[in-house]
Amino acid sequence: MPVLVLHAHPNTPPSRVNAALAAAARSVPGVTVHDLYETYPHFFVDARREQALVEAHEAVVFQHPIYWYSAPPLLKQWWDTVLEEGWAYGGNASATVGRTWTHALSTGGSEHSYSGRVDPADDPAGRANFFALDDYVKPWRQSARLCGMRWHPPFTVHEAGRLDDAQLADACARYRAFLVALGAFATPLPPPGA
Ligand SMILES: Cc1cc2nc3c(=O)[nH]c(=O)nc-3n(C[C@H](O)[C@H](O)[C@H](O)COP(=O)(O)O)c2cc1C
C-alpha cells in the first residue's frame, strides 16, 4: 500500500537522525519520501500539488523532530494550506477519508522523560516533560479525526542527540519495519469513481 513520508526538518542545526531516517525510508518499496524544506524553502506550499500527492497514497507519515513540543513551522504551514475546507473536512469533503495519518518523531528527551510519570519532586532540573508523548500528539490525532483519517501511533526515536552509529542504524531498521507494517495497516482505498 503506498505510503507518503512528508519529511520536515529545517536543517538549522543540521539533521543527523532525520536525515538517516529519510534515507532509510527511501529504500522501502512503495514509500515516497517528499522533503518539504527542500521543496518549499520560502514556505509557499503548493496546495494542489500536495493534495494530489496525498490522494496518490493511502498513508501519510509526518516525519520530523520534536521542536518546542510540536513540529517545525513548515509542517504547520503545510497543514494550514493543504487541509482545505471542502477537500479535507466540511461539507462533502472525502479526499482524505479512510487514509492513515501518523508521525515519525525524534525527541531530544528520553523515553522516561516522556512517560508522563516523572514526579516533579524527582526532577529539580526540570528536564522531564511532565506530560506523556501521547498528550503532545493530541492536536494531530484530532486533526486526523476531523479529516476522517485513521490514526496510527507514531514511530519514535528518543534521545536523538545521544545515539551512537549502531543505535542510529538500529533506529533506521526499526523505521523500515514500521513503514512496511504501516503499508499493511493502511486500508486499500477504492479506485476513484468506484
Ligand atoms: C529549536 C529546537 C527545539 C527543540 N525542542 C525539543 C522539545 O521540545 N523536546 C525534545 O525532546 N527535544 C527538542 N529538541 C531536540 C530535537 O528534537 C533533536 O535535536 C532532534 O530530534 C534530533 O534530530 P536531528 O538529528 O534529525 O536534528 C529541540 C531542538 C531544537 C533545535
DSSP string, the chain: --EEEEE----SSPPSHHHHHHHHHHTSTTEEEEEHHHH-TT----HHHHHHHHHT-SEEEEEEE-BTTB--HHHHHHHHHHS-BTTTBSTT--TTTT-EEEEEEE-SS-TGGGBS---GGG-TT--S-SSBHHHHTHHHHHHHHHTTPEE-PPEEE-SGGG--HHHHHHHHHHHHHHHHHHHHHSPPPPPTT-
**Number of domains the chain is built from:** 1
Any ligand 1 atom below 6 A from CB of 69: yes
Whether 194 is covered by a domain: the verdict is no
User: 161 C-alpha to center of ligand 1: Å?
Assistant: 8
141 is a domain residue: yes
Look at residue 159 and tell me if it is in a domain: yes
The reply to whether ligand 1 has any atom less than 6 angstroms from the CB of 67 is: yes
Q: Is residue 12 part of a domain?
A: yes
Q: Ligand 1 center to residue 191 CA distance, Å?
A: 40
Q: Is residue 190 part of a domain?
A: no
* pLDDT the model gives residue 188: 67
Domain-embedded: residue 193: no
pLDDT computed for residue 68 by the predictor: 97
Residue 156 CB less than 6 A away from ligand 1: no
Verify whether ligand 1 is closer than 6 Å to residue 9 (CB atom): yes
Which regions of the chain are under pLDDT 70? 1, 187-194
Domain residue limits at 156: 3-185
Check residue 193 and give its pLDDT: 58
Residue nearest to atom 30 of ligand 1 (CA): 67
Q: What is the pLDDT of residue 163?
A: 98
Residue 124 lies in a domain: yes
Q: For a ligand 1 pocket test, name from 16, 62, 70, 106 the mutation site with the most ligand atoms within 8 angstroms of its C-beta.
A: 106
* Pairwise CA distance, residues 69 & 120, whole Å: 18
pLDDT of residue 85: 97
d(CA 65, CA 63) in angstroms, rounded, equals 7
Is 111 part of any domain? yes
Contact between 75 and 8 (Cβ < 8 Å):
yes
pLDDT computed for residue 191 by the predictor: 59
Q: Ligand 1 within 6 A of 72 CB?
A: no
What is the rounded CA–CA span in Å between residue 68 and residue 71?
7
Give the CATH number for residue 109: 3.40.50.360
Report which ligand 1 atom has the smallest distance to the Cα of 68.
Answer: 8
The confidence score (pLDDT) of residue 184 equals: 83
Task: State residue 1's pLDDT score.
Answer: 62
Is 68 near ligand 1, meaning CB less than 6 Å away? yes
